Amino acid sequence: MRAQDDVDPLVKEELLEKDRKYVWHHMSAHNENPMIIASGEGSWVTDIDGNRYLDGMSGLWCVNVGHGRREIAEAAADQMMKIAYATLVQSHIPAIELAAKLNEWLEGEYRIFFSNSGSDANEVAFKIARQYHHQNGKPSKHKFISRHRAYHGNSMGALGATGQAQRKLKYEPLGVGFQHVPPPYCYRCPFGQTKETCSLQCAQAIENAIVWEGADSVAGVILEPVITGGGMLVPHEGYLPAVRSICDKYDVLLIVDEVICGFGRSGKPFGHQNYGVRPDIVTMAKGLTSAYSPLSATAVSAELYDSFKEKEATSHFRHVNTFGGNPVSCKVALANLDIIEREGLVERSAEIGQAFRARLEPLNAHPHVGEIRIFGSAMGIELVEDQISKIPASVERVTHLILACKSKGLLVGKNGDTVPGYANILTLSPPLSSTEDDVNFII
């Protein structure tokens, strides 16, 4: 199919030549023939050959309101003409309005620290947690408990918190003080339990880690409400409340990474709201602006913030970044959140998930489908060689399926590929604005 975005073959060859020569692609050694995306509208993107694809992963789990939203572009242009840059050493109107709006979404009282990326937001959370304990009479609390298979970002601390060996190889040593425990992975329970015998041993593992490390040395637990990039691992509904109680028992902060699960993806404004817990710190990025502009935020409970009010010269949070909370990005975020609210996209996300659940049910009988896991409108299909042995589907089988989807115009993701042999979870996370036709197309 060729559309208005197709370019002259000679121009395309020239672009590809420059790409091969100058562009260092993310997450691949070398991509001889990358897909070059030229435009997007709604849930669909178009490459420079004019081929249209349904963007089944919303880019990298981020374009929650879909592509081509003119009102976001206009909000950005308008803000650029008013003032394109102001620091948050002082303040500016879009940051003030956005911080207040995020408090509505969070249903609690939080101070908002703005940065650029999800990795930044998590780094900020770690520094705030350590400094908080310092200023609260417990300076030895500095470690963080995280889970295997979790992804929390690419910088030294956030990668230290990440529980995926393949991402860390050759970059260690990373930020110190990160301990990992087994994830709540019910399909392959690390504790050999079943639904019937489960007594939340995965939550107990967090308590054990705190005790064994020494509660006086542990500053926080970091987790996603549902491990997304590590393979869509949806925990038992009692898991997050149990972790909250454990954190309270040992004066350990609960840091919830909502970089993917936030902004409607889970069928609620934030993922943790599905489990009725109140985090001490919430980190967010991606859907905050639907990736129309880079922005992230670390929301810190009002109680924690109190200990940063000036007592001595080093009591305040001594952290600054040039671009964090850029006025244009904040204005983009406000326009994005306005669309999500106006169009009811949080509820729409839940509906998309319900459609997946109901209409993909027959796939459960397919010999290569181990389990289908859905959280809001995010879905993981764990592919196996057969349902009895549960041997993860081979790389060839998964690759074949991904290419088959692409040839039919659907872009899907592949996750869980960071432990050798486990490249077997097909992921889908379409825009929350996906229409019935889009959902039918995916199904």
One residue of 151, 292, 375, 422 binding ligand PLP per CB under 6 A: 151
2: left (phi over 0), alpha (psi -120 to 50) or beta: beta
Q: Does residue 123 touch ligand PLP according to CB under 6 A?
A: no
The residue written with tokens 């990298």 in the block is 60
Q: Does residue 257 touch ligand PLP according to CB under 6 A?
A: yes
Kindly indicate which of the ranges 6-14, 117-125, 248-256, 416-424 contains the residues binding ligand PLP, using the contact rule CB under 6 A: 117-125
For ligand PLP, the closer of residues 117 and 298 by Cβ is 117
3-state secondary structure of 146: strand
Contact by Cβ (8 Å): 257, 152: yes
On the CB side of 27, CA atoms within 13 Å amount to 9
3-state secondary structure of 37: strand
One residue of 223, 259, 288, 425 binding ligand PLP per CB under 6 A: 259
Kindly indicate which of the ranges 46-54, 112-120, 237-245, 426-434 contains the residues binding ligand PLP, using the contact rule CB under 6 A: 112-120
Kindly indicate which of the ranges 35-43, 48-56, 253-261, 323-331 contains the residues binding ligand PLP, using the contact rule CB under 6 A: 253-261
Rg of the chain, C-alpha, whole Å:
22
Kindly indicate which of the ranges 9-17, 203-211, 224-232, 310-318 contains the residues binding ligand PLP, using the contact rule CB under 6 A: 224-232
Per DSSP bridges, beta strands 369-375 and 378-383 are antiparallel
Q: How far apart are the C-alpha atoms of 193 and 171, rounded to whole Å? A: 35
Q: How far apart are the C-alpha atoms of 128 and 317, rounded to whole Å? A: 7
Q: How far apart are the C-alpha atoms of 240 and 261, rounded to whole Å? A: 14
Contact by Cβ (8 Å): 333, 289: yes
Sheet of strand 253-257, all strands in order from the earlier edge strand to the far edge: 110-115, 296-301, 281-284, 253-257, 218-223, 143-147, 178-181
Burial class (CB in 10 A: 0-12, 13-18, 19+), 317: middle
Kindly indicate which of the ranges 81-89, 256-264, 315-323, 342-350 contains the residues binding ligand PLP, using the contact rule CB under 6 A: 256-264
For ligand PLP, the closer of residues 252 and 288 by Cβ is 288
For ligand PLP, the closer of residues 131 and 415 by Cβ is 415
Number of residues that bind ligand PLP (CB under 6 A): 16
Q: How far apart are the C-alpha atoms of 182 and 187, rounded to whole Å? A: 13
**Min. distance of Cβ 155 from ligand PLP in angstroms?**
8
Q: How far apart are the C-alpha atoms of 276 and 414, rounded to whole Å? A: 30
* Tokens (6 digits) for 273: 């709201």
**Min. distance of Cβ 61 from ligand PLP in angstroms?**
7
**Min. distance of Cβ 190 from ligand PLP in angstroms?**
20
**Min. distance of Cβ 410 from ligand PLP in angstroms?**
21
Q: Does residue 263 touch ligand PLP according to CB under 6 A?
A: no
Of all residues in this chain, which one has the CB nearest to ligand PLP in the complex? 118
One residue of 95, 285, 288, 295 binding ligand PLP per CB under 6 A: 285
One residue of 79, 119, 135, 377 binding ligand PLP per CB under 6 A: 119
Q: How far apart are the C-alpha atoms of 121 and 125, rounded to whole Å? A: 6
Q: Does residue 229 touch ligand PLP according to CB under 6 A?
A: yes
Kindly indicate which of the ranges 64-72, 203-211, 254-262, 355-363 contains the residues binding ligand PLP, using the contact rule CB under 6 A: 254-262
For ligand PLP, the closer of residues 43 and 119 by Cβ is 119
The residue written with tokens 């080093």 in the block is 314
One residue of 66, 153, 231, 416 binding ligand PLP per CB under 6 A: 153
**Min. distance of Cβ 121 from ligand PLP in angstroms?**
7
For ligand PLP, the closer of residues 60 and 402 by Cβ is 60
For ligand PLP, the closer of residues 143 and 152 by Cβ is 152
User: How many helical (H) and strand (E) elements, i.e. helices and strands, does the chain have?
Assistant: 14, 15
Q: Does residue 255 touch ligand PLP according to CB under 6 A?
A: no
Contact by Cβ (8 Å): 106, 271: no
What secondary structure letter does DSSP report for 272?
A: G
Q: How far apart are the C-alpha atoms of 296 and 200, rounded to whole Å? A: 32
Q: How far apart are the C-alpha atoms of 276 and 240, rounded to whole Å? A: 8
Q: In sequence order, what are the beta bridge partners of 386? A: none
Kindly indicate which of the ranges 171-179, 195-203, 257-265, 306-314 contains the residues binding ligand PLP, using the contact rule CB under 6 A: 257-265
Kindly indicate which of the ranges 123-131, 148-156, 327-335, 416-424 contains the residues binding ligand PLP, using the contact rule CB under 6 A: 148-156
Q: How far apart are the C-alpha atoms of 115 and 320, rounded to whole Å? A: 9
- Residues 43-82 touching ligand PLP, rule: CB under 6 A, are 60
**Min. distance of Cβ 185 from ligand PLP in angstroms?**
16
Per DSSP bridges, beta strands 281-284 and 413-415 are unpaired
One residue of 117, 131, 301, 336 binding ligand PLP per CB under 6 A: 117
Which residues contribute to the site for ligand PLP (CB under 6 A)?
60, 117-119, 122, 151-154, 224, 228-229, 257, 259-260, 285
